[in-house]
Structure 1
Amino acid sequence: MASNILSHSLFLVVITMATYHISHASDPDITSDFIIPSNMNAVDGNFFTFTGMRTPLQVELPTIFNVTKASLAQFPALNGQSVSYALLQYPSGGINPPHTHPRAAELLLVIDGTLEVGLIDTTNKLYTQTLQTGDMFVFPKGLVHYQYNADAQNPATAISAFGSANAGTVSIPSTIFATSIDDGILATAFKTDIATIQKLKAGLAPKA
């Protein structure tokens, strides 16, 4: 009898811990239907509408990789809703450099063209795929990944969905080489010389 009680107690503890982990693996739950910003007294249908994708989809594609986000910063109605989007536009040869999203997985849908995509897991194994129009690919939360338009003639367009209103983006090249990490530290870490590090930093410096 005591053994059964102990077994059931352990089972409940495990279930509770698992539920706690799952419930805290995404945006916090809210206790209302939606969250009205503090600078608003009331909202109407416009509050739940985002029109920021209209222009990028109607004008000529950019000559460099471009991201148009519909996340918490651009679309306040997403607060507490655990979802956001991004429109990704790639010219021929365009690349979305290696990066991570620390707070959400990403589900990418190619809506025009083709893309080479890849992700790296925590064992440093690389997974790659060539996506056609209509294909989807999931990038697990926190893992390094990239997208590249290898087509020399045609642009590509994709839409990404995130399981967070504020997924966050950590660009690997910019985080490493466009911040103030000491050149000597980077040279040692990458087993190269300071001149090479400075050249990499210069290539990532904002254009004047």
Structure 2
Amino acid sequence: MLPILLLCFLLPSSHAADFCVADLMGSLTPSGYQCKVESAVTTDDFVFTGLGVVGNTSNIIKAAVTPAFAAQFPGVNGLGISAARLDLAAGGVIPLHTHPAASELLVVTKGIIVAGFISSANTVYYMTLHKGETMVFPQGLLHFQVNGGGTPAVAIVSFSSPSPGLQITSFALFANNLPSALVEKVTFLDDAEVKKLKKVLGGTG
């Protein structure tokens, strides 16, 4: 009996016990994507080249985020990790936002970035970061990044989830059809300011 048990331990196990490459034909759920069948998995599923490509910052926030989440990088599905590239042109900003499903670690690779977060006690923690410096943002807390110099800045960020989620506060408030009267109530802004922001960000109501 003992030799049979030893043989079971020594035999190679199915890849399903090692990883779960995302089947992007399925839907993303809170527990991730379903696994690809073993015969469809390739080396390409475990390689992502997008973090070496400069993002397009010609937009309203003068910033770009290139994600390497499960949806773009199937090999990270189920592994509890992912990454992204952050490009900030001069004057660029990633507005206050949260990642409901992950903590974030930012490493500046070029330029200067002012970054910070707000705790649930409304305490603010922020710092001006230079090349090689790192800051962490705890899961679910509001945080931001702003170009702190006059030249482009770049950072690589990693997350404790393959699908960290994202909600940008200003877009959540002003880029949808929530009636202006309700937005004014919950933000203490006047009607003119709310309608101005809705117009800028594409909201209605």
Q: After TM superposition, is the score higher than 0.5?
A: yes
**Count of residues in Structure 1 that have an aligned counterpart in Structure 2:** 173
1:190 CA displacement = 2.3
Aligned 1:50-61 pairs, distance under 5 A: 50-56=48-54
Query: Which residue in 2 is equivalent to 1:92?
Result: 90
C-alpha separation between the residues in 2 aligned to 1:42 and 1:191? 54
C-alpha separation between the residues in 1 aligned to 2:167 and 2:74? 22
Does residue 149 of structure 2 align to residue 168 of structure 1?
no
Of 59, 64, 67, which residue of structure 2 is paired with 1:69? Answer: 67
Query: Which residue in 2 is equivalent to 1:12?
Result: none
Aligned amino acid, residue 200 of structure 1: L
Of 186, 189, 194, which residue of structure 2 is paired with 1:189? Answer: 186
Matched position secondary structure for 2:50: coil
Aligned amino acid, residue 44 of structure 1: T
Query: Which residue in 2 is equivalent to 1:35?
Result: 20
CA RMSD of aligned residues (A): 2.0
TM-score by length of 1: 0.77
1:54 CA displacement = 3.5
Distance 1:44 1:128, change over 3 A: same
Distance 1:68 1:178, change over 3 A: same
Farther off after superposition, 191-200 or 87-96: 191-200
Equivalent residues of 2:84, 2:158 under 8 A apart: yes
Distance 1:113 1:168, change over 3 A: same
Aligned 1:106-117 pairs, distance under 5 A: 106-117=104-115
Query: Which residue in 1 is equivalent to 2:201?
Result: 204
Aligned 1:4-23 pairs, distance under 5 A: none
**Alignment gaps of 5+ in structure 2:** 1-15, 24-34
Equivalent residues of 2:98, 2:141 under 8 A apart: yes
Aligned amino acid, residue 99 of structure 1: H
C-alpha separation between the residues in 1 aligned to 2:131 and 2:157? 14
Aligned amino acid, residue 73 of structure 1: A
TM-score by length of 2: 0.78
Of 131, 134, 140, which residue of structure 2 is paired with 1:133? Answer: 131
Query: Which residue in 1 is equivalent to 2:32?
Result: none
- Residue identity over aligned pairs, in percent, reads 37
